[in-house]
């Protein structure tokens, strides 16, 4: 067991964890932040994407103990309060989800994409950047559309 | 995943000491290979020594005619470094094609090279750029570092600290990737340095990454892509698996190598 201090969605969490605990399990089981999903066992689907110190990572391929002293943001922490984040709103408006399983990871990746590439995201960049996120039902058309719209809204 | 002890260190020395002291211990870099293999039970170290806290390993050091990339630099660090993009464009281009954005944010050059996956990208850059692998004890030329599938010249308990790449403005990397895993089915790194052309192939060799010396010689005589036309690769030495047959890989190598040379001459 190791004692860790992690800043999760703006809150300081100070807890003992078993060393082998994956970040995704720490978030879902210990912290009940179940918006972060697990969709595969091979680090390929991206349903588990969260931000660590502002960068998108796959939380199924990182240990909770590796987050000591770091800032972790999950889909639950994207906004404070009830209002949706611009990217969430764009996914809603563009019908960029059906079952919604991949959506939290898609949105966290999309927000990181805007951080790195700015607001004027073109389709090629979005598609290249979405390689680590798999959607098994919507098809990517509306997801790409939503990210374009969301990226512009975020800059407003 | 099996139980293990997690150890934090803040210096190379401390990491090496623990690595030698604790039986069955492994170092943890970006964890993008190690953690998935531990989850699958394919690897079960007794302790993980986390290199994430050693800040000197995350540096990109600029020398007069070379760049030293710290072992813990992520693929994203290398892809985005303005000095690397300027002086060794092929290296930055290669790093930007590894895996996906999230993998590039965590995975490191040291981890990739230590692992020496036959389909990994970085080994091709190391051979193609005549790089030097720096460890806590010595400097190893890339030509004698990659020994076979997942095998390297590293001794037990030896730690990669960085990789020195000499500047090579004329360098590029073309990759035909597996669309699911994004690893290379064939990856071709071509560089034209002071000592002539270098052509390194990953993803395709039965014994892992290799230099295509016949192509280098041909290009040193005639630097047009046509110079590669008459060459034949030995199909027996190609990987042959569910992703691609040996003859297909041999063909792809030539096609990609010609394209790479053409791109460099443009
Ligand atoms: C979905 C996915 C797609 C990927 N696609 C690609 C791809 O297209 N191309 C590609 O090349 N790779 C790909 N990878 C692999 C990725 O690049 C890994 O990041 C890399 O192979 C290992 O680096 P790491 O820092 O994650 O190392 P880790 O997983 O932490 O370690 C790997 C091994 O190296 C050892 N090690 C680590 N650092 C050192 C060091 N400094 N000295 C000595 N030993 C060390 C560890 O003990 C371990 O045995 C992919 C991975 C995933 C999950
Ligand atoms: S659950 Fe993390 S990538 Fe699939
Ligand atoms: S909306 Fe169902 S997997 Fe993407």
DSSP class per residue in B36-82: HHHHTTS---SEEEEGGG-GGGG-EEE-SSEEEEETT-BHHHHHH-H
**Nearest CA owner, ligand 3 atom 2:** A99
Residue B182: pLDDT band (50, 70, 90) is confident
Q: Can you count the helices (H) and strands (E) in chain A?
A: 5, 5
Q: The domain at B55-265 falls in which architecture? A: 2-Layer Sandwich (3.30)
In ligand 3, which atom is closest to the CA atom of A99?
A: 2
- pLDDT-based confidence at A130, cuts 50/70/90? very high
Dist. CA B201 → ligand 1 center (Å): 19
Put simply, whether B97 touches A (Cβ < 8 Å) is: no
Q: What is the pLDDT of residue A119?
A: 86
Vertex B36, ends B11 and B6: CA angle to 5°?
Answer: 35
Predicted local confidence at residue B30, as pLDDT: 98
Nearest CA to ligand 1 atom 39: B111
Question: What mean pLDDT do residues B154-174 have?
Answer: 97
Q: Is the pLDDT reported for residue B180 higher than 90?
A: no
- Please write the tens of the pLDDT for every residue from B239-262: 999 999 999 999 999 999 999 999
The model's pLDDT over B104-156, given as tens digits with 9 standing for 90+, comes to 999 999 999 999 999 999 999 999 999 999 999 999 999 999 999 999 999 99
CB-hemisphere CA count at 13 Å for B113?
Answer: 38
DSSP 8-state class, residue A146:
H
Task: Please tell me the predicted confidence (pLDDT) of residue B80.
Answer: 96
Q: Quick one: average pLDDT of B24-48?
A: 97
Q: Closest residue (by CA) to atom 3 of ligand 2? A: A43
Cβ neighbours of A132 in B, within 8 Å: 99-103
Closest by CA to A58, choosing from B153, B107, B97, is B107
Could you tell me the pLDDT band of residue A81, with boundaries at 50, 70 and 90? Answer: confident
Show me where the domains of chain B are located: 5-50, 55-265
pLDDT at B225 over 80: yes
pLDDT tier at A12 (50, 70, 90 boundaries)?
Answer: very high
CATH fold of B5-50, please?
3.30.43
Nearest to A55 among B6, B28, B105 (CB): B105
Overall average pLDDT of the B68-79 stretch? 98
Interval between CA B224 and ligand 1 midpoint (Å): 35
Residue of minimum CA distance from atom 4 in ligand 3: A135
Residues of chain A positioned with their CB less than 8 A from the CB of B6: 2, 19, 63, 65
pLDDT of residue B181: 85
| Residues in chain B within 8 Å Cβ distance of A49 | 102
- Mutation for testing the B interface, residue in A36, A42, A53, A57 having most B CBs under 10 Å: A57
For residues A141 and B195, give the distance between their C-alpha atoms in angstroms, rounded to a whole number.
Answer: 48
CA of B42 to the centre of ligand 1 (A): 15
Does the fold of domain B55-265 match that of domain B5-50?
no
Pocket test for ligand 2, best of A39, A57, A101, A104 (most atoms within 8 A of CB): A39
Q: What is the pLDDT of residue A156?
A: 77
Mean pLDDT of chain B: 97
Distance from CA of B1 to the nearest CA of A (A): 7
**pLDDT average, residue stretch A103-128:** 95
pTM given for the model: 0.97
**Vertex B123 angle, CA B92 and A60, to 5°:** 80
Q: Report CB contact under 8 Å: A68, B8.
A: yes
Q: What is the pLDDT of residue B23?
A: 95
Q: How far apart are CA A19 and CA B6, in angstroms?
A: 6
Contact A131 B39 (CB under 8 A): no
For A38-44, what is the mean pLDDT?
94
Please determine, for residue A39, whether its predicted confidence score (pLDDT) is greater than 90. yes
CA–CA separation, B16 and B30 (whole Å): 18
Tokens 């969301």 identify what position?
Answer: A150
Distance between CA atoms of residues B50 and B9, nearest Å: 7
Q: Do B102 and A19 make contact, defined as CB atoms within 8 angstroms?
A: no
Q: What does the pLDDT average to over A59-88?
A: 95
For B124, what's the count of Cα atoms within 13 Å in the CB-facing half-sphere?
Answer: 36
pLDDT value of position A26? 98
Determine the distance from the C-alpha atom of residue A81 to the mean position of all C-alpha atoms in its chain, rounded to a whole number: 18
Q: Please tell me the predicted confidence (pLDDT) of residue A139.
A: 85
The protein residue with its alpha carbon nearest to ligand 1, atom 5, reads B99
Tell me, in angstroms, the distance from the centre of ligand 2 to residue A15's CA: 24
**Mean predicted confidence (pLDDT) in B209-228:** 97
Confidence of residue A155 (pLDDT cuts 50, 70, 90): confident
Tokens 């951080």: give the residue: A115
Q: Which domains does chain A have, with CATH numbers?
A: 2-76 (3.10.20.30), 86-154 (1.10.150.120)
B168 Cβ neighbours under 8 A, 6+ residues apart: B87, B88, B90, B129, B191, B192, B193
Closest Cβ opposite residue A43 in set B3, B8, B32: B32
Residue A120 has pLDDT above 90, yes or no: no
pLDDT, mean of residues B71-95: 98
Under an 8 A CB cutoff, do B3 and A129 touch? no
Counting from 1 in the atom list of ligand 2, the atom nearest the Cα of A38 is: 1
Task: Decide if pLDDT at B265 tops 80.
Answer: yes
Span A84-104, average pLDDT: 97
- For residue B181, the chain A residue with the least C-alpha distance is A44
Give the ligand at the shortest distance from the Cα of B103.
Answer: 1
* Residue B170 dihedral angles phi and psi, to the nearest 5°: -95, 85
Residues of A in contact with B100 (CB under 8 A): 46, 131-133
Q: What is the pLDDT of residue B266?
A: 86
Report yes or no for ipTM above 0.85. Answer: yes
- Among A48, A75, A88, A97, name the best residue to mutate to test ligand 3's pocket (greatest count of ligand atoms within 8 A of Cβ): A97
pLDDT at B43 over 90: yes
Q: How far does residue B240's CA lie from ligand 2's centre (Å)?
A: 29
CA A3/CA A82 separation, integer angstroms = 32
């Amino acid at each position: 067991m190791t004692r860790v201090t992690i800043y999760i969605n703006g809150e300081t969490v100070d807890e003992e964890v078993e060393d082998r605990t994956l970040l995704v399990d720490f978030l879902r089981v210990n912290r009940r932040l179940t918006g972060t999903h697990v969709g595969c066992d091979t680090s390929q689907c991206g349903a588990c994407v969260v931000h660590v110190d502002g960068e998108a990572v796959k939380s199924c391929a990182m240990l909770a103990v590796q987050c000591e002293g770091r800032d972790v943001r999950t889909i639950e922490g994207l906004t404070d309060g009830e209002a949706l984040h611009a990217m969430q709103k764009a996914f809603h408006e563009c019908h960029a989800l059906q079952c919604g399983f991949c959506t939290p990871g898609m949105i966290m990746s999309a927000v990181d994409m805007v951080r790195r590439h700015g607001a004027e995201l073109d389709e090629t960049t979005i598609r290249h950047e979405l390689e680590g996120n798999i959607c098994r039902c919507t098809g990517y058309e509306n997801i790409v559309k939503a990210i374009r719209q969301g990226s512009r809204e975020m800059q407003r | 995943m099996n139980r293990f002890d997690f150890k934090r260190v803040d210096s190379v020395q401390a990491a090496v000491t623990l690595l030698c002291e604790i039986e069955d211990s492994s170092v943890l870099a970006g964890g993008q290979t190690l953690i998935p293999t531990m989850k699958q039970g394919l690897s079960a170290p007794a302790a993980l020594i986390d290199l994430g806290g050693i800040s000197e390993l995350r540096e990109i050091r600029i020398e007069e005619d070379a760049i030293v990339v710290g072992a813990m630099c992520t693929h994203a660090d290398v892809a985005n470094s303005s000095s690397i993009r300027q002086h060794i464009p092929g290296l930055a281009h290669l790093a930007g094609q590894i895996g996906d954005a999230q993998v590039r944010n965590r995975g490191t050059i040291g981890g990739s090279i230590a692992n020496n996956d036959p389909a990994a990208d970085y080994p091709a850059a190391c051979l193609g750029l005549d790089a030097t692998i720096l460890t806590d004890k010595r400097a190893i030329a890339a030509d004698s570092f990659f020994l076979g599938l997942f095998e390297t010249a590293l001794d037990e308990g030896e730690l990669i600290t960085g990789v020195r790449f000499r500047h090579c403005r004329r360098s590029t990397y073309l990759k035909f990737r597996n669309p699911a895993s994004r690893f290379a089915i064939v990856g071709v790194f071509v560089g034209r340095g002071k000592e002539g052309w270098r052509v390194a192939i990953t993803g395709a060799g039965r014994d892992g990454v290799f230099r295509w010396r016949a192509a280098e010689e041909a290009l040193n005589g005639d630097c047009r892509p046509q110079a590669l036309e008459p060459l034949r690769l030995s199909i027996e030495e190609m990987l042959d698996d569910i992703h691609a047959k040996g003859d297909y890989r041999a063909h792809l190598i030539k096609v990609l190598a010609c394209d790479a040379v053409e791109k460099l001459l443009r």
